[in-house]
Amino acid sequence: MLSQQGHEVTLFERAGEIRPVGAGLLLQPSGQLVLERLGRLDEIVTDAEPIERLVARTRSERVVLDLPYAAAGSGLHALGVHRSTLHAALVRFAAAAGVAVEPGCDVTEIAGDSLVFADRERRGPFDLIVVANGSASALRPELVRFRHDYAYGALWTIGRTTSVAGRLEQAVHGSRELIGLLPLGAGRCNFFASVRLAELDAIRAAGFDRWRARVVDLLPDAAEVIEHVRGFDDLSVTSYRHVQLRRPFTGRVVLIGDAAHAMSPHLGQGVNLALIDAWELAAALAAAPTVAQALPAYAERRRAQLRYYALVTFALSPFFQSRGAAFGLLRDVALPTLTRIPPLRRHMAATAAGLVAGFVPRRIQLSVISSTSS
- Determine the pLDDT at residue 21: 72
Q: Domain of residue 367: give its range.
A: 10-51+77-147+241-373
Any domain includes 4: no
Per-residue pLDDT reduced to its tens digit, 211-263: 999 999 999 999 999 999 999 999 999 999 999 999 999 999 999 999 999 99
Any domain includes 61: no
Mean pLDDT is lowest, of 182-191, 204-213, 317-326, for 317-326
Any domain includes 363: yes
Inter-residue contact 182 to 51 (CB < 8 Å)? yes
Any domain includes 68: no
One domain for residues 115 and 250: yes
One domain for residues 254 and 367: yes
Inter-residue contact 55 to 116 (CB < 8 Å)? no
Any domain includes 56: no
Per-residue pLDDT reduced to its tens digit, 34-77: 999 999 999 999 999 999 999 999 988 899 999 999 999 999 99
One domain for residues 82 and 184: no
Q: Is residue 286 predicted with pLDDT exceeding 80?
A: yes
Total number of domains in the chain: 2
Final residue of a structural domain among 180, 210, 240 = 240
Any domain includes 64: no
Mean of pLDDT values over 341-358: 92
Residue 164 CB partners (closer than 8 Å, separation 6+): 181, 183, 189, 221, 225
- Determine the pLDDT at residue 18: 73
Any domain includes 3: no
One domain for residues 183 and 122: no
Final residue of a structural domain among 225, 240, 255 = 240
Q: Could you count the other beta carbons within 10 Å of the beta carbon of residue 97?
A: 14
Any domain includes 314: yes
Q: What confidence category does residue 17 fall into, taking pLDDT thresholds of 50, 70 and 90?
A: confident
One domain for residues 205 and 292: no
One domain for residues 255 and 112: yes
> What is the longest distance spanned by two Cα atoms in the chain?
62
One domain for residues 91 and 224: no
One domain for residues 87 and 106: yes
- Determine the pLDDT at residue 358: 64
CATH number at residue 211: 3.30.9.10
Final residue of a structural domain among 240, 266, 287 = 240
Inter-residue contact 179 to 58 (CB < 8 Å)? no
Q: Is residue 367 predicted with pLDDT exceeding 50?
A: no
SS (H, E, C) the chain: CCCCCCCCCEEECCCCCCCCCCCCEEECHHHHHHHHHCCCHHHHHCCCEEECEEEEEECCCCEEEEEEHHHHCCCCCEEEECHHHHHHHHHHHHHHHCCEEECCCCEEEEECCEEEECCCCEECCCCCEEECCCCCCCCCHHHEEEEEEEEEEEEEEEEECCCCCCEEEEEEECCCEEEEEEEEECCEEEEEEEEEHHHHHHHHHHCHHHHHHHHHHHCCCHHHHCCCCCCHHHCEEEEEEEEEECCCEECCEEECCHHHHCCCCCCCCHHHHHHHHHHHHHHHHHHCCCHHHHHHHHHHHHHHHHHHHHHHHHHHHHHHCCCCHHHHHHHHHHHHHHCCCHHHHHHHHHHHHCCCCCCCCHHHHHHHHHHHHC
Mean of pLDDT values over 150-176: 96
One domain for residues 333 and 355: yes
Residues, the chain, total? 374
CATH number at residue 136: 3.50.50.60
Could you tell me what percent of the chain has a pLDDT over 70?
A: 95
Residue 261 CB partners (closer than 8 Å, separation 6+): 243, 244, 245, 248, 273, 306, 309, 310
How many whole angstroms from its chain centre is CA 173?
24
Residue 43's alpha-carbon distances to 52, 83, 228, 258, in angstroms, are 20, 13, 29, 25
Give the C-alpha separation, 245 to 307, whole Å.
11
Give the C-alpha separation, 253 to 265, whole Å.
26
- Determine the pLDDT at residue 372: 34
Q: Is residue 130 predicted with pLDDT exceeding 60?
A: yes
Give the C-alpha separation, 116 to 126, whole Å.
12
Query: Model pTM?
Result: 0.93
pLDDT averaged over every residue in the chain:
92
Q: At what angle do helices 291-320 and 270-287 cross, to 10 degrees?
A: 170
- Determine the pLDDT at residue 363: 41
- Determine the pLDDT at residue 327: 94
Q: What confidence category does residue 161 fall into, taking pLDDT thresholds of 50, 70 and 90?
A: very high
- Determine the pLDDT at residue 357: 81
One domain for residues 184 and 226: yes
Rg (CA), the chain: 21
One domain for residues 25 and 136: yes
Q: Is residue 186 predicted with pLDDT exceeding 60?
A: yes
- Determine the pLDDT at residue 20: 66
Per-residue pLDDT reduced to its tens digit, 88-128: 999 999 999 999 999 999 999 999 999 999 999 999 999 99
- Determine the pLDDT at residue 339: 94
Q: Who has greater pLDDT, 340 or 16?
A: 340
Could you tell me what percent of the chain has a pLDDT over 90?
A: 90
- Determine the pLDDT at residue 359: 53
One domain for residues 245 and 140: yes
